[in-house]
Structure 1
Amino acid sequence: MSQLKSTGSEFFAGVRLLGKGFARYGRNPKLLLLGAIPAAISFALFATAWVFLIIYIDDLANAATWFADDWSSFWRGLIEVGAGAAILIVAVLLSVLTFTALTLLIGDPFYETISEKIEDSLGGTPGAVDRPWYRTLWPSLADSLRLVAFGVVLAIPLFLMGFIPVVGQTVVPVLNALVGGWLIALELTGVPFTRRGMRLADRRKILRANRALTLGFGIPVFLLLLIPVVAIIVIPAAVTGATLLTRRTLGLNIENGVRPAGPATASHPR
């Protein structure tokens, strides 16, 4: 019971980190504009892609259920509805993940500036590696591609489960949020971890040791990114929150002069 209570406490601590990210980001008008520009560019691209997906969703569902062409109209219609839902669920996971990756790639110097300002206000970045943004761009891109590829691998069983009546419309969306929240947290913490010379393997290990905290932060970000237009503001605020998440998992203060509560796993850059 105490372990369950501790897990719940850590989860909601992660949610509060996102709230703190919004609060800190919203207090600086310059950061508002700086962080919104890359997100707006990505949003325009993905909004166009979603318009086409919705227009052709029936054709895609029909193509995915070619094996049911000879079935009765009732069962064929049922399986096509399941296929359409499965396609949309997988599209949500992959589009949120790739939207985040593309936005961070486009706005790498902007989000690096935002994250660094937050850390400076909290006493600096212990273990920081001083490299220009263009030197960190390719490693960040490689890590993002690995995460997207991992998302594609996980999307396959989710897609297949989407064909199962009831399960595809209830269990799969929950699993989608869990997987999406985890991958989004890994993606967003890339900015502060990379500043310390840490790669994807490092942050995966550290965040895994703080799983409930990480999911508490990542799942709300994932859900908020599903709301059109809101995503433009969510990404830069989430980068701020991810900076606080990184500091907490490394045992650093997230409030001026205040040590974080709860377990933390520190690590050192390679």
Structure 2
Amino acid sequence: MDVPRLAAPVTGAASRFFSGAGLLLRGLGLYVRSPGLMLLGIVPALISGVLLVAALAGLLYFVDDLAAWLTPFADDWSNSWRSLVRVLAGLAVVGLAGLLGVVTFTAVTLAIGDPFYEKISERVEERLGGTPGAVEVPFWASLRRSVVDSLRLVAISALIGVPLFAAGFIPVVGQTVVPVVGAMVGGWFLALELVGAPFYRRGMRLPDRRALLKADRPTTLGFGVAVFVCFLIPLGAVLVMPAAVAGATLLARRSLGQSTREG
């Protein structure tokens, strides 16, 4: 399918970044005005959240053993240097797990709650004037495409996460620059996942939405990083997920040059 080419935004990158973050707040406002969907939107995220917390708890329990396993070369070092290297290794493991955990959580939650989040996205589009170019997509076909695309995004984020994991061993840089880069990478992939429903509704697949979101990368990153940070807060992923779906619908419409204003 031909992807529409939009004129490049004329505002500064910082302004567009914060504008993208604002889409999450607008998505929250749109979502809470549909109380009938609120509980249903939280249930799939709660299920995925329990699984994610259990996995992270297990990782934290064994993180010292993992750090030692990853740094056998430090066995004969002095206690202070060995401890420093293994603390850095542990932080790198937790950082990589956080990046992959957030992206995987989103993929699993969207798969479990596909009918609910599709309805939230549709409700948002109805408030904004409907869906131009909508196509009828059978439920199972939509779910299958969503799962396949999500698996691709998780795999790509894992490949990118490996060098970030390695950089996590670098003192100072690994604890300052790497987390920021990780948030940017995670935010980008979250945005790509979350806009799936409105793009599928228009008969557009992953390459289409990737091309359109790249056209205004600062806005996409602003939205994605805001969601990523919220997902790192305890219970944040569960409570914010439905609002993130609503905000992603706004992001998709904006990337397509369609109205994001009610009425």
Query: TM-score, normalization: structure 1?
Result: 0.92
CA distance in 1, matches of 2:236, 2:33: 18
Q: Does 1:20 align with 2:48?
A: no
- Where does structure 1 differ by over 4 angstroms across 4 or more consecutive aligned residues? none
Higher relative contact order (CA closer than 8 Å, sequence separation 6+): 2
**What's the counterpart of residue 213 of structure 1?**
219
Which secondary structure does the structure 1 equivalent of 2:232 belong to?
coil
Q: Does 1:243 align with 2:252?
A: no
Per the TM alignment, residue 30 of structure 1 is displaced from its structure 2 partner at its CA by 1.1
Gaps of 5+ in 1: 258-270
CA distance in 2, matches of 1:230, 1:217: 15
Residues 155-202 of structure 1, C-alpha deviation per residue, up to 9 Å, x if partnerless?
100010011111111111011111011110001011111111111111
**What's the counterpart of residue 173 of structure 2?**
167
- Which structure 2 residues correspond to residues 89-104 of structure 1 after superposition, within 5 A? 89-104=95-110
Which secondary structure does the structure 2 equivalent of 1:56 belong to?
helix
Query: TM-score, normalization: structure 2?
Result: 0.94
**What's the counterpart of residue 142 of structure 1?**
148
Q: Does 1:126 align with 2:164?
A: no
Higher mean C-alpha deviation, range 22-31 or range 198-207: 22-31
Per the TM alignment, residue 4 of structure 1 is displaced from its structure 2 partner at its CA by 9.6
CA distance in 1, matches of 2:189, 2:259: 24
Task: Tell me the amino acid that sits aligned with residue 109 of structure 2.
Answer: T
Q: Does 1:203 align with 2:209?
A: yes
**What's the counterpart of residue 110 of structure 1?**
116
Q: How many residues align?
A: 255
**What's the counterpart of residue 47 of structure 2?**
41
Per the TM alignment, residue 5 of structure 1 is displaced from its structure 2 partner at its CA by 5.7
Task: Tell me the amino acid that sits aligned with residue 211 of structure 1.
Answer: R
**What's the counterpart of residue 29 of structure 1?**
35
Q: Which of 152, 158, 162 is matched with 1:156 structurally?
A: 162
Gaps of 5+ in 2: 1-8
**What's the counterpart of residue 178 of structure 1?**
184
**What's the counterpart of residue 79 of structure 1?**
85
Percent identity of equivalent pairs: 56
Q: Which of 55, 63, 71 is matched with 1:65 structurally?
A: 71
Which secondary structure does the structure 2 equivalent of 1:86 belong to?
helix
**What's the counterpart of residue 54 of structure 1?**
60
Q: Does 1:11 align with 2:1?
A: no
CA distance in 2, matches of 1:61, 1:168: 15
CA distance in 2, matches of 1:256, 1:230: 27
